[in-house]
Structure 1
Amino acid sequence: MGRAVPASAPGGTARPLSVVARVHLMPPQHNAGAEHMLVSMLRPLVERGHDVQVWLSRYGKASEPYDYRGIRVVPLEARLDFPSAVRKADVLLSHLECVPSTSALARGFGRPMVTICHNTHRPTFRDMAAGGTALAVYNSRWMKAEAELFFAEYPKAVRPAESLIVRPPVFADEYATKPGKAITLINCNPEKGGHVLAALARRMPDQQFLAVKGAYGEQVLPDLPNVEIVEHVDGQQMREQVYAHTRVLLMPSSYESWGRAGVEALASGIPVVAHPTPGLCESLGEGGLFVDRNDLDGYEVVLRKLLAPAEYRLAVKRARARSAELDPAPDLAAWCEAVEALTR
């Protein structure tokens, strides 16, 4: 695809910035929604001419720095000096477990701090509220509303100086493909619905299922003749290894703050049958089919209904329409301009 946000976009900074992120893990070894949201947000900064580095805080498989989609990734095993990178940085960025330590460094070195919030769990807002966040990024309207409730409940908490909503960016043309034949679940841990997939596969032996191992959590992988198990997949391979084999995506998650995999599936017009979490309702909109995760009868009814060509065509049409509505370009333009504004 072309540039997500052109380097000449309005609001661009006059000089390249050094953006240094500190996170626990990154692709291609670790492929969860939070990490791919981060990658999708850092790519346009690179395209605008900024130097972007991601320093890892956990040991992994890589021992030397490597490039991932234009982003320089520095493994913990490389044993390079992270504080030196901080001293040279114009902007620091972090998410999840690395927010407290990165915020402390930002305060100590007097650098603006960007905190990306991926969920509404109390530690997310508590860690940010410890102070030092110049820009908070929320992945949905409902998450921002939850953050406002937190700050209203704890008036002594330090609010971020600025906030922005950036929906997890999905570049549709990087995922769009001709759908396949399987009913698919991505990340088969219990909270994502591994037991739901297993139960439906037993109920529907006439249908093909695809169980994709996730980046975290115990995986529920049924040993059934109609279930194909796929190993953990790098995000760059999802189109070929997952969506090209998928007819319907299951998302019976107990919690999703947004649900990036569902939006990736919409790019191919793949219908998504999901549990109605606030995040999934906001992300999928009219492109989603919602069934309570405890209603196995309901899931089976919807899946069998989608076997009818007319019903499937209608669901595909709605999925594609919702994908078009989620064009990430406006969010990413606002994001890049907000980061660049931190140094003015």
Structure 2
Amino acid sequence: MAAVPVSAPGGTAKPLSIVARVHAMPPEHNAGAEHMLVSMLRPLVERGHDVSVWLSRYGKAHKEYEYRGIKVVPLESRLDFPTAVRRADALVAHLETVPSTASLARGYGVPLVVVCHNTHRPTFRDMAAGGTALAVYNSQWMEREAEVFFAEFPKSVRPATSLIVRPPVFAEDYATKPGKAITLVNCNPEKGGKVLKALAERMPDQQFLAVKGAYGEQILPDLPNVEIVDHVRGEDMREQVYARTRVLLMPSSYESWGRAGCEALASGIPVVAHPTPGLTESLGEAGVFVDREDLDGYEAVLRKLLTAPEYRLASKRAKARSAELDPAAELAEWCTAIEGLAR
């Protein structure tokens, strides 16, 4: 990713202290929300700002470490998070850390930024209760859902401003030559673990990859045509997953966006998905949508994609959609918004 100088138009010549509070981070925890946050914090580092992430849960890491230029502070290593908050120019929180971080932001008078990764009611409730200076939605659909929430609860405090940052995927980080397998990333029931198992039983001559996820009970079929892949770090997805994948499955019951699908598009890998609002927005015309309960439909689509002419067309659409999702403009807007919060 090309560096954006601190003196970029709309930016600030003063390096800022930006402090994020999250429950877990890569490389130990590799979920879409955390990798989205990493992709958003990296350009701030490249603009010369001091960015640190303070973890709110105990994990395997006991000492501070650096991840892709971002300083990560494990809970066990330091206990002076309030001091970091007091010195910060902006606080960033998401998911479960929003309520506690919002309290500190109010107490110390620091602007609060809330990154919203899903449309579940607590997401909007916690953001509305925290005096949020900037809300970041990961899709147009989520922004609309937030508007519904504020219409239903007119006494809730709206964020001072908001913007949409779709989970940034840099195609060059993931593009590779596709492999031969039909792949599911995160095999818990909500993501479609049972669908993968059923399809592998129906298609015994086809190779499948079952990639263990960062969370949830994993359904890992004990079948000769299913290879189980241990949890993969984000930076290793290209070589260990996408280079071995011909088609990606996303029969998820819920996705607010679907980062893995967008990563696969970079290599022209077709994505067969359940039509959640998030997935239909993220995959666009490149997505092949089949209801997750329609196993016959999934099998028919997969068999069609095993033919060369159909695969070429689907792959072409996938690469075109990947180009449309170039994150540069949205990340520049994000950086400018953060710099505008400086006290």
TM-score range, shorter chain: over 0.9
Q: How is 1:174-189 mapped onto 2 (pairs within 5 angstroms)?
A: 174-189=173-188
How much has 1:79 moved relative to structure 2? 3.0
How much has 1:343 moved relative to structure 2? 1.4
Q: Distance in 1 between matches of 2:244 and 2:328?
A: 28
Q: How is 1:140-289 mapped onto 2 (pairs within 5 angstroms)?
A: 140-289=139-288
Which residue of 2 is the match for residue 68 of structure 1? 67
Which residue of 2 is the match for residue 20 of structure 1? 19
CA offsets per residue over residues 90-116 of structure 1, 9 Å max, x none? Answer: 100100000000000000000000000
Which residue of 2 is the match for residue 331 of structure 1? 330
Which residue of 2 is the match for residue 55 of structure 1? 54
Q: Which structure 2 residue ranges, 5 or more long, are not aligned?
A: none
**2:37 paired with 1:35:** no
Q: Distance in 2 between matches of 1:10 and 1:208?
A: 50
Q: Distance in 2 between matches of 1:93 and 1:253?
A: 28
CA offsets per residue over residues 261-283 of structure 1, 9 Å max, x none? Answer: 00000000000000000000000
Letter in 1 for 2:114: T
SS in 2 for 1:133: coil
Letter in 2 for 1:269: G
CA offsets per residue over residues 72-92 of structure 1, 9 Å max, x none? Answer: 000011133111111111100
- Name the Cα RMSD after superposition: 0.8
CA offsets per residue over residues 247-267 of structure 1, 9 Å max, x none? Answer: 000000000000000000000
- The answer on whether the counterparts of 2:54 and 2:74 sit within 8 Å (CA) in structure 1 is yes
Q: Which structure 1 residue ranges, 5 or more long, are not aligned?
A: none
How much has 1:11 moved relative to structure 2? 1.1
How much has 1:198 moved relative to structure 2? 0.3
How much has 1:291 moved relative to structure 2? 0.3
- The answer on whether the counterparts of 1:9 and 1:333 sit within 8 Å (CA) in structure 2 is no
Q: Distance in 2 between matches of 1:102 and 1:129?
A: 13
**2:76 paired with 1:77:** yes
Which residue of 1 is the match for residue 112 of structure 2? 113
CA offsets per residue over residues 7-56 of structure 1, 9 Å max, x none? Answer: 44311112000000000000000000000000000000000000000000
SS in 2 for 1:79: coil
Q: Distance in 2 between matches of 1:271 and 1:93?
A: 34
- The answer on whether the counterparts of 1:131 and 1:159 sit within 8 Å (CA) in structure 2 is no
**2:323 paired with 1:309:** no
Aligned-residue identity in percent: 81
- The answer on whether the counterparts of 2:6 and 2:15 sit within 8 Å (CA) in structure 1 is no
Which residue of 2 is the match for residue 2 of structure 1? 2
Q: TM-score, normalised by structure 1?
A: 0.99
Which residue of 2 is the match for residue 88 of structure 1? 87
Q: Distance in 2 between matches of 1:38 and 1:172?
A: 17
Letter in 1 for 2:51: V
- The answer on whether the counterparts of 1:274 and 1:290 sit within 8 Å (CA) in structure 2 is yes
Letter in 2 for 1:77: E
Aligned residues: 343
Q: Distance in 2 between matches of 1:257 and 1:267?
A: 20
CA offsets per residue over residues 159-200 of structure 1, 9 Å max, x none? Answer: 000000000000110000000000000000000000000000
Give every structure 1 segment of 4 or more consecutive aligned residues whose post-TM-superposition deviation is greater than 4 Å: none
Q: Distance in 1 between matches of 2:43 and 2:52?
A: 13
How much has 1:2 moved relative to structure 2? 3.0
SS in 2 for 1:123: helix
